[in-house]
Structure 1
């Protein structure tokens, strides 16, 4: 995988939020485009967009994209809606990350959940994994994921 593109409503705000809250710092690569050929590729008439790239993890780029034309609609998708995707970031200590997110006033959907077999969950190989969902400034769903310690 090369990169994941995420349309946002305010590029500067999102770049700052992803850097400050998730530690995903821009790598200095930015682009802007108002090109009919690019419009054809993304199926938008007369698009105007700006984007900033940041390294997320060891080898995946996160591309935050602001379209100035056409004006985007606010994000309104639910996790169950077709086409809605979420980004998942692995953390070493989900409880500490949760406390820090709450301290910063970040929207956290609910307290962390540990995946365990039973009570409507068949966790299988992911048993013991902790998960947490949160939202970025545009309401886009993100997930934090802590894998359990496994005996060697």
Structure 2
């Protein structure tokens, strides 16, 4: 290998409404969003593989990683419709120190979890707990607590 993989810089999520997503994630996780940026032109369209692409984007920093939100003004994309079992479906997992406290806090802020936290009882992840919920666009999110 001729390069060094240094980590994950960001995870990109295409959203319907950039401001709504920035506000929702900021409120849910007490984060501060970066500036809103705009992009268009032939280089961008070629780079993102979307003809005539025009978009706005912004990042939220979580530790050393970022989530990038992208809203395409041109073309307007389809709504998210993936099930967790569909090829290409992804999710973002946030590590928390207290999953029960996180579920209570996020639920009070409007999150809807698909179940109570589930504890892993076998294998090398024994003692870990996780729970799924979705953002306003239906993007799958997860919170995770490692064993204490």
**Do both share a fold (TM > 0.5)?**
yes
The CA RMSD measured in Å over matched residues stands at 1.1
Once the 2 structures are TM-superposed, how far is the Cα of residue 35 of structure 1 from its aligned partner?
1.0
Counterpart in 2 of 1:121? none
Counterpart in 1 of 2:128? 129
Matched residue SS, 2:124: helix
Query: Distance in 1 between the 2:106 and 2:12 partners?
Result: 23
Runs of 4+ in 1 over 3 A off after TM superposition: none
Matches within 5 A, 1:61-100: 61-100=66-105
Matched residue SS, 2:34: strand
Matched residue SS, 2:51: coil
Gaps of 5+ in 2: 1-7
Instruction: Say if 2:24 is the partner of 1:25.
Output: no
Query: Distance in 2 between the 1:26 and 1:16 partners?
Result: 9
The TM-score with structure 1 as length reference comes to: 0.88
Aligned residues: 141
Instruction: Say if 2:61 is the partner of 1:55.
Output: yes
Which of 36, 40, 47 is residue 42 of structure 2 equivalent to? 36
Gaps of 5+ in 1: 118-123
Post-superposition CA distance 1:34-69 (Å, at most 9, x none): 11111011111111100011112x211111110011
Matched residue SS, 1:125: coil
Query: Distance in 2 between the 1:143 and 1:72 partners?
Result: 24
Counterpart in 2 of 1:10? 17
Matched residue SS, 2:28: helix
